[in-house]
Amino acid sequence: MLQVGITGYGTIGKRVADAVRLQPDMAVAGVAKTTPNYEAESAVRRGYPLYVAGDGADAFRAAGMDVAGDLEDLVTASDVIVDATPSGVGARNAELYARYGVPAIFQGGEAADLVDASFNARANYDDAAGADAVRVVSCNTTGLARLLAPLDEAYGIEKARVTLIRRGGDPGQTGRGPINDVLPNPVELPSHHGPDVQTVIPGLEIDTLGVKVPATLMHTHSVNVTLQSEPDADDVRELLGGESRLFLVPGRAGIDGAGKLKDFAADAGRPRGDVWENCVWADSIAVRGRDLYCFQAIHQESDVVPENVDAIRAITGSATAAESVATTDEVLGMGLGDLLSGTVRRAPSAATGIVGDD
């Protein structure tokens, strides 16, 4: 039973803890947090040993929460650490993990050169073998890697061009914007996502552009991939439909955006309404010569959670990629598409006639 310590118990950390707890081969050694806020309360309710990072232990005790120790205590109690602290904090913690020889998994907010390997379960699971530190790439990069890896294997990718329409902030990030605007962000090419995808799919030709919009629920990607051979759209649907972490949204489901995706996930009983899968609109998959297009939505709060679980097995060498992904998916209940009966509706041929008021 792998003892997993989780430092940082915010958006990602609390989800990873809950996912780890469900795995047959893992246990939560404890979670580390800096402030005794509502999320710390939820860790206590779940029975996770609470370690205090920094010098706020008295504040936790004053709030009536038992403190199991400090960050160093958690590291020594753990076989592996998942660091889900805010961007930059992981880099400061890395020396501590290394000093105790505890393998560590960082998040996409840390620089790629902090670790031995960047990680995506679908694209490069085996690169984590024997590493002291790996980095689960960010939500958007994870989403791109899951989509592009099977396309690259099946058809060869000549070049991918993706516009990432990014949520301004998470639902709880009340201080972020924009308000009523669309911001090119960054205004200069490339956004970090393209080079980041190349850390898990080396040699991939990809240009990415980012904008930020006043939405909080999910990111949306407008994807173009020029393939090395001409695909058939139905074949692509079948290929992507066979990927366990891609949810091909059928037209008949009546799901037009992130709001309904989240509602569907909540109806399905998903914890926190999480959507771990890439959500690819089946009807958006279109082929023009060797150009493939589609839209996908990415839940920034949760799509990296199964990847963190797999990274724990990968870095400790306790399972192969196939074994780990199968276990993670089974235990979590991956596969929103399986909840919909019948088959995915095929896209009708494109409408003719040009009418539009904008």
Task: Give the count of beta carbons closer than 10 Å to the beta carbon of residue 192.
Answer: 15
Dihedral angle of Cα 30, 31, 35, 39, to the nearest 10 degrees: -110
Contact 285, 344 (CB under 8 A): no
Instruction: Please name the residue that has the structure tokens 């403190």.
Output: 67
Q: Rounded to whole angstroms, how far apart are CA atoms 242 and 224?
A: 20
- The verdict on whether 139 is a catalytic residue reads yes
Sheet holding 133-136, edge to edge: 69-70, 50-52, 26-33, 2-7, 80-83, 104-106, 133-136, 117-119
Considering the complex, what minimum distance in angstroms separates the CB of residue 348 from a second copy? 7
What are the backbone dihedrals phi and psi of residue 291, each rounded to the nearest 5 degrees, phi first?
A: -90, 125
Contact 285, 347 (CB under 8 A): yes
Looking at residue 337, what DSSP letter applies? G
Considering the complex, what minimum distance in angstroms separates the CB of residue 95 from a second copy? 18
Considering the complex, what minimum distance in angstroms separates the CB of residue 298 from a second copy? 9
For the chain, how far is it from start to end, CA to CA, in angstroms?
58
Considering the complex, what minimum distance in angstroms separates the CB of residue 210 from a second copy? 9
Q: Rounded to whole angstroms, how far apart are CA atoms 27 and 209?
A: 40
Considering the complex, what minimum distance in angstroms separates the CB of residue 281 from a second copy? 5
Q: Rounded to whole angstroms, how far apart are CA atoms 295 and 222?
A: 5
Q: Rounded to whole angstroms, how far apart are CA atoms 287 and 282?
A: 12
Judged by CB, which is closer to a second copy: 7, or 199?
199
Instruction: Please name the residue that has the structure tokens 């040993």.
Output: 49
Sign of CA dihedral 212, 218, 222, 226: positive
Judged by CB, which is closer to a second copy: 35, or 224?
224
In what helix (H) or strand (E) does residue 63 lie, and over which residues does it extend? none
Q: Rounded to whole angstroms, how far apart are CA atoms 159 and 122?
A: 19
Q: What is the DSSP string of 107-131?
A: -TTS-GGGSSEEE-HHHHGGGGTT-
Judged by CB, which is closer to a second copy: 226, or 316?
226
Considering the complex, what minimum distance in angstroms separates the CB of residue 284 from a second copy? 5
Catalytically annotated residue among 139, 144, 204, 213: 139
Considering the complex, what minimum distance in angstroms separates the CB of residue 209 from a second copy? 5
Judged by CB, which is closer to a second copy: 42, or 163?
163
* Residues taking part in catalysis: 139
